[in-house]
Structure 1
């Protein structure tokens, strides 16, 4: 093996081959370091380590930190008032007036007019199922077909037996019979009205008092004092002052409603779809993937991004129990995936501005990784043997296992991974 010895005072032989390239790289590195030093001295750049809020640069060193990573997922939704459903109109006759779609109705407002009589909105959960009055026929006590005018369905006065002309104890031929008569005559007793009681009475009296018609005790008993208040209410509505509320005079809802689109026009007979309504609060409906809807739990907090770029807080209110596939979708295709409707409510309605409907984006929290080691995603290096690693400040590589990716960072773990370890962003 021949050894080349440099004589004193002579310059070394020019580098060649691999050694020559290595020398060139060293010189280049010195030039780069010198340039960085000059830039730093001039205040045009920082050191190698990046601040917490600065995006990492290629070649810079960043520390391994402990943090909680949160995966956020976005899905498309639509803002609106929800599905319109028919109002339970029980009045019979001809529709003579309808409100404009989009109108908001509250307690005491007229929803529509039938035979030029107002049908009024009141608040409550129990539907109107019978006439309410102080002298309602006994047949109406259980929600029968007694009418508000105190006559039975066949036109006879309340309590009159079929085949009689009225009067106490009228027999088959119309002649009165004694109460103790044993001659086989049919005994007829007038069905005396009983005092009306029930939760529906309490619900109605509560509304009447809130509207300002008082003078009675709000309880489950419909008394003569209640009837007096009803007469005053009927006078304000332009109705005959009977003191009795017919089953079709009132419609109950849980609160304010928004009038939808009518199913008939004025002049038509009342039907099942005479008028529709929704709630008065705007909400968001998301068709969530049935296979990935574990996030959709009632009460879950979400963020709703509006078309103008603003975001507002929302909360999951309900989740449909029936999955459906889009029309024309094929099984196994992305467009044919089954979905379930998820309703999101927005408590601060003012934050929505004047927007009543339109496409929105709902952002929800998917997975969370708490108190884990994290680095910027850009710090990961693909290893030749497979998987990922991190390059240390000394130039060595550590194999790591990756976990959750979120917000530009990734969860990492490994034997040599520790908090504060400096790793390099590869160039």
Structure 2
């Protein structure tokens, strides 16, 4: 019965080469059992028919999706920031400058203009009104693209609750629109520091965990969007995942100093099938990428291979009370097995393996 196996096969031929080399008979395919040797190997295994998957292990980093850098809209002194690692949701402040909060609201359109009475209609107005309603302001507010008097009153209510100047107008010094709740990963502007308009003050990410791999550009063929992978996390935890993003532009780093080699990589992001136990950010992980898949092939344990004096490999086929060496061509590797083709080999054929 066919079954799939997933594992790495690199360097396994070296193990086979450790066997004593044997000669192949004149026809290039078989040889009788060595005179004086055991008639039948002490241990045997069967040739099986199944799918083999060879994998390549690469280094990655466990992190969070959607990193972005936030800048101060106005100048002043930082009087408070959310702690690194804190999750900030709608209606909560990320930081305070001159003791006035910068509040998170949800939306994909940045606050690129001041929103006030008399401003032209637009989706940014609707985005603001949707947040005001979600935060419990504006019972008479109609959520649309028009900044109405009801919108103005709802803004005043919100500003009063947040301790902001009650102007009825909202700008980027008071609110920041983000797609969803964010996690603070770095507070560049510590409390007491003076910041200028446009200066970066916080780095945030989404709350969804992912694995990022800087994949060597030469191995780009290993990363296919939608492909399944296996990730080994700190502590030995293993989690399945799927490649969700593969960069289209290669990035080159290093090579600036004399003798330093440059490295060209492609960004690969992996979404995990379940939330990992570890809460560490930037934790090193190992990712198994599928290198090659071979379906419905004959396979033997790698240790069944014997090195031939003429070059290449063979297997010791057991027939009754005797054996013969059959030269084989090897293919894919996976889970300690190797694909083989050779004269007379079939599913169920017994081959010799080293006694454990």
TM, length-normalised to structure 2: 0.78
Q: Structure 1 residues 79, 330: closer, same or farther in 2, change over 3 A?
A: farther
| Contact 1:91–1:249 under 8 Å retained in 2 | no
Partner of 2:233: 306
Measure the CA separation in 1 of the matches of 2:353 and 2:144.
75
Displacement of 1:315 in angstroms is 2.7
| Contact 1:94–1:270 under 8 Å retained in 2 | no
Measure the CA separation in 2 of the matches of 1:330 and 1:319.
31
Q: In the alignment, does 2:134 pair up with 1:210?
A: yes
Displacement of 1:270 in angstroms is 3.0
Q: In the alignment, does 2:43 pair up with 1:60?
A: yes
Higher mean displacement: 403-412 or 240-249: 240-249
The structure 2 residue matched to 1:405, chosen from 318, 329, 333, is 333
Measure the CA separation in 2 of the matches of 1:399 and 1:237.
80
Structure 1 residues 269-418: aligned runs within 5 Å: 269-271=195-197, 272-320=199-247, 321-327=249-255, 336-346=262-272, 348-349=274-275, 351-394=276-319, 395-418=323-346
Structure 1 residues 100-249: aligned runs within 5 Å: 100-133=83-116, 135-136=117-118, 141=119, 196-215=120-139, 216-249=141-174
Structure 1: gaps spanning 5 or more residues = 1-24, 34-47, 49-57, 142-195
| Contact 1:213–1:229 under 8 Å retained in 2 | yes
Displacement of 1:264 in angstroms is 5.5
> For the pair shown, which has the larger CA radius of gyration, 1 or 2?
1
Partner of 1:266: 192
The structure in which a higher percent of residues are strand is: 2
Secondary structure of the 2:109 match is: coil
Measure the CA separation in 1 of the matches of 2:335 and 2:176.
51
Secondary structure of the 1:222 match is: coil
For 1:42-98, what per-residue CA distance to the aligned partner results, in whole angstroms no more than 9, with x for missing partners? xxxxxx8xxxxxxxxx53232221100011221122223479642043234443333
TM, length-normalised to structure 1: 0.66
Secondary structure of the 1:207 match is: helix
Larger RCO (CA under 8 A, 6+ residues apart): 2
Secondary structure of the 1:396 match is: strand
Structure 1 residues 94-105: aligned runs within 5 Å: 94-105=77-88
Secondary structure of the 1:67 match is: strand
Displacement of 1:374 in angstroms is 0.8
Structure 2: gaps spanning 5 or more residues = 1-34
Measure the CA separation in 2 of the matches of 1:328 and 1:201.
48
Measure the CA separation in 1 of the matches of 2:95 and 2:109.
20
| Contact 2:234–2:278 under 8 Å retained in 1 | no
Displacement of 1:122 in angstroms is 0.7
Q: Structure 1 residues 390, 347: closer, same or farther in 2, change over 3 A?
A: closer
Higher mean displacement: 261-270 or 297-306: 261-270
| Contact 1:74–1:362 under 8 Å retained in 2 | yes
Higher mean displacement: 248-257 or 273-282: 273-282
| Contact 1:381–1:426 under 8 Å retained in 2 | no
| Contact 2:81–2:190 under 8 Å retained in 1 | no
Secondary structure of the 2:293 match is: strand
Displacement of 1:412 in angstroms is 0.8
